[in-house]
Amino acid sequence: MFTCRKLTNEDIKQKQPFFNRLYKTVAWKLVAVGGFSPNVNHGELLNAAIEALKATLDVFFVPLKELADLPQNKSSQESIVCELRCKSVYLGTGCGKSKENAKAVASREALKLFLKKKVVVKICKRKYRGNEIEDLVLLDEESRPVNLPPALKHPQELL
């Protein structure tokens, strides 16, 4: 079992410099492949950028039916949910028919953040198993954290 602690600005200060470097690395990698497009392997590009900074892209999968906090669409072909994190900071979520498909959607969503002028780590409220929790989330500087998808793992387990 893990102990929950309150997230602080100190947590943000520790994480932000890494994501500033990741922002630049992703920008260069996007330039090298001709920009953000459907033809780019978003997962590969994101993973390569993170690995270039000697970090790891953490990938979590959960069957859609196990998430009480997500609307269940019976006719949907999507059955797997994927959450991406790096250095315990939430990057994005995607749903798909397979793990590969869900990861591709999550990677595309995460990479969209890096198309803005700047990325920032913020403490945001998210749902986890029906409860509201605090999480470190990567956002672009203008966005307001609204309707974040529920966490697939308790973020404090990852700190």
Q: Which domains does the chain have, with CATH numbers?
A: 9-65+76-157 (3.30.160.20)
Looking at residue 137, what is its pLDDT?
A: 96
Confidence of residue 70 (pLDDT cuts 50, 70, 90): low
Q: Which helix (H) or strand (E) holds 11?
A: helix 9-32
Provide the whole-model pTM: 0.90
Residue 64, pLDDT score: 84
Q: What percent of the chain has pLDDT over 70?
A: 89
| pLDDT on residue 76 | 61
pLDDT of residue 143: 77
Counting Cβ atoms within 10 Å, is residue 155 exposed (0-12), middle (13-18) or buried (19+)? Answer: buried
Any residues with CB less than 8 A from the CB of 7 and at least 6 apart, and which? 123, 134, 135, 136
Name the average pLDDT for the chain. 88
Residue 86 has phi, psi (to 5 degrees) of: -145, 130
Whether 79 and 60 have beta carbons less than 8 Å apart is answered as: no
Closest listed residue to residue 19, CA positions, set 145, 138, 111, 133: 138
Per-residue confidence (pLDDT) for residue 74, from 0 to 100? 46
